[in-house]
Chains A and B, each alone.
Chain A
């Protein structure tokens, strides 16, 4: 009994140490570059932007009404967007949902060239020259994608390039759920 008692001063520090190790271990598997968006569950911010391919046509948030939509934020200047692009082209070919693009801070010519060369997955592309609409959507690095429901409410956000794995494990299940909603 006496032997055990001599270890008691170490019990509390030992527990604290274990707790900290646990905390740090969890921290190792968190990605600090992914910040949860406060916009999830909120209606799409209002905007009015020209269409990249037909600059005299303007589009606003009413485009989300009536169907589940993916809004992909990109730019021809964005390296990771080029990496993501073939995945979007493939997704568009499956015709699961309309994909709209939000091209920001971009040279329209470079964006058009990219779509011509690598394929165009977008139903339409909103062109945001100043980047103000991207800020309204809480965008901080491209690519980012938003899943918007039939009523124009933002339901999910994917930060970084969309991968086939994200499509199968997260996007499609969520899409089916949203499509089943009234």
Chain B
């Protein structure tokens, strides 16, 4: 059993490495930035995969571009802007805070506040009902 598992894991390890065709950076700092960035962008043909995880040709092109830009010394913000200029905010997994996404960001807090108000009212009403009872 253990042999089979090890063999399977080795097989998948190979697959995991095979996705990225870009040569690794000599500098581990740059490599970390490259990996971080490729995990931030959506591959638009296979919409629920990141650029890092996707096997699609488009994702490979994105990785090549990002690799080149990291190598050329462009900042993370510049690289994000490059992607957004071409593909819009949808390319980002984490949508930016702006007017059109305000509800998206504030929504959970508004709901939480609403729930707290309702809970407080219910609690108060029940307390009052109990006071009124003998």
Contacts and interface: CB of A to CB of B under 8 A. Distances in A.
B97 interface: no
Contact of A132 (B44, B47, B65, B88): B65
A140 B57 contact: no
B108 to A, nearest CB: 15
A140 to B, nearest CB: 4
A140 B87 contact: yes
Question: Which of A32, A37, A140 gathers the greatest number of chain B CB atoms within 10 Å?
Answer: A140
Contacts, number: 39
Interface string B56-88: 011001100100000000000000000011111
A35 B87 contact: yes
A182 interface: no
A39 B47 contact: no
Contact of A138 (B47, B57, B61, B86): B86
Nearest to A37: B88
A135 B86 contact: yes
Looking at chain A's contact residues, is the secondary structure mostly helix, strand, loop, or mixed? loop
Contacts of B57: 105, 131
Contact size range, B: 10 to 19
A77 B40 CA distance: 29
Interface string A130-143: 11101111101100
Interface residues of A, number: 18
A152 B65 CA distance: 25
Given A140-B44, A140-B45, A141-B44, A38 B87 contact: yes
18 contacts: A33-B47, A35-B87, A36-B88, A38-B84, A38-B87, A38-B88, A105-B61, A130-B61, A131-B57, A131-B61, A132-B61, A132-B65, A136-B86, A138-B86, A138-B87, A138-B88, A140-B44, A140-B45
Interface of B: 44-45, 47, 57-58, 61-62, 65, 84-88, 90
Given A35-B88, A37-B88, A140-B87, 14 more contacts: A35-B90, A37-B87, A38-B87, A38-B88, A130-B61, A134-B61, A135-B65, A135-B86, A136-B86, A137-B86, A138-B87, A138-B88, A140-B58, A141-B44
